[in-house]
Amino acid sequence: MAERFVVIDVETANPDMSSICQVGLAVYEDGQRVGAHSILIDPEDEFDEFNIAIHGITPEQVQGKPNFSEALPGIQQVLGDDPVVSYGHFDKTAMAQACYRYGWELTVTAWLNLHPVVRRAWPEEAATHGVALAKTAKRLGVKLVNHHDAKADAIAAGEIFLQAMAVSGLGVADWLKRVATPINPERHVSTYEVNPEGALLGEGIVFTGALCMTREQAREAAAQLGCIPLSGVSKKTTMLVVGDQDIRYLRGSDKSSKHRKAEELIQKGHPLRILGESDFMAMLSSERV
């Protein structure tokens, strides 16, 4: 049975998820990679030194490159009518936020998040070791030559998905249905009722900065997405949501202690993502549709 899918991975210039500076695409057909693309994009935004340290992309490297609006038609052409796959929920949100910023709408037939796939294909390993891309690739013997290069990450994610299909006997269409079915919830150290079918199941989330909602409302919303609300940043934390005002204007020592601690953990290789409140709200809205 001929099945095609396209894996997408993005990197951003700063914590604002619409500030995409690189898109990686890996195209698969009949269990083989048939194409791969790396697209540098001028985000028309500031580059955060922290982000540069993670992916190595500088303002100089994107000078003269197309902005997202100019690059999107070519990206859309590669995606075509095939299912789109990403390793986690962030790439989908970043694409949606960038499209909104430039007044575009991304047309896809289906979008598959590989985190729930990994949790279902290897439940015991995922419960014990988590689903971070680098750790999962290493555990499965998948080569990840340059982590945080969007093209390399997309290829590694595609290889992991091929292994998930092989061990499960499920194809792309089957997995789109499988991730919609519940799995036995893993341990949840939380006073909130965590949704065992949430798109971000198993993520440990912390909030910091001035938010448009109360902390209680934010934690309740996060639990509905499957997250475990945490009070402070630790090795259990995989997501830090920062108030939009703080994430856009705070620099250096002005960042909250939670923000600085999260950056320290990321620099040590901990799989943690920092995002703004508007990006978190976009995730929440997409799951309510």
- pLDDT tens, residue by residue, 22-80: 999 999 999 999 999 999 999 999 999 999 999 999 999 999 999 999 999 999 999 99
Q: Tell me which CATH code domain 4-178 carries.
A: 3.30.420.10
Give the start-end residues of each E strand in 97-203: 111-113
pLDDT confidence of 251, banded at 50, 70, 90?
low
The more confident residue out of 163 and 256 is 163
The single-letter code of the amino acid at 87 is Y
Give, in order, the Cα–Cα distances in Å from 81 to each of 37, 110, 123.
17, 9, 31
Most confident of 125-129, 135-139, 212-216, 267-271: 135-139
Query: Which sequence spans correspond to the domains of the chain?
Result: 4-178, 204-288
pLDDT confidence of 256, banded at 50, 70, 90?
confident
Q: What is the pLDDT of residues 217-249, one digit of tens each?
A: 888 899 988 899 998 899 899 999 998 876 665
- Identify the architecture of domain 204-288 in CATH: 3-Layer(aba) Sandwich (3.40)
The DSSP element (H or E) to which 160 belongs, if any, is: helix 150-168
DSSP conformational letter for 48: P
